[in-house]
Amino acid sequence: MRNCGLGEAWSEVVLPALHGVAAATMLSGAERAEPRRGAFEIYGLDLVIDEQLRPWLIEVNESPNLAAHGSALKESILSDMLSSAVELLTEPEHRRAPPDCVGKWRSCVRAGSEPAASADVS
């Protein structure tokens, strides 16, 4: 984005908006979710970013393909993502009080809170 003259747009505009969309999406289904002890789910969100750098949610995949093939970007992040997910789920201190971030995972919503205010999710 810097090469296109957009400076810090990714960290200052796009990423906070993506976090807001992800948080709003997960909160929208929270009431219908059935918690299962000892289980977790990884969802895949497909988004596009328009010319004004606004994210648009295309679909939510309940069981995304986690195979390390398909795109160079996916291959480059998959190992770290899955390692961090295992760390988040297995480290005793994370189960007691989950931190705001573990590895590449970042919390964009806490139980009972609203999505990030910086995101326009309308």
The answer to whether the CB of 32 falls within 8 A of the CB of 53 is: no
| Residue 117, in any domain of the structure | no
Q: What DSSP string runs through 78-118?
A: HHHHHHHHHHHHH-HHHHHS--SEETTEE----TT-PPPTT
Residues in the chain: 122
Q: What is the pTM of this model?
A: 0.72
**Domain that residue 36 falls in:** 2-106
Q: Give strand pairing partners of 30.
A: none
* The pLDDT of residue 40: 79
Each residue's pLDDT tens digit, 94-118 = 656 656 666 666 666 665 555 544 4
Each residue's pLDDT tens digit, 38-80 = 777 888 999 999 999 999 999 999 888 888 777 787 878 888 8
Give the contacts of 58 (CB within 8 A, at least 6 positions apart). 46, 47, 48
Give the contacts of 99 (CB within 8 A, at least 6 positions apart). 107
State the total domains in the chain: 1
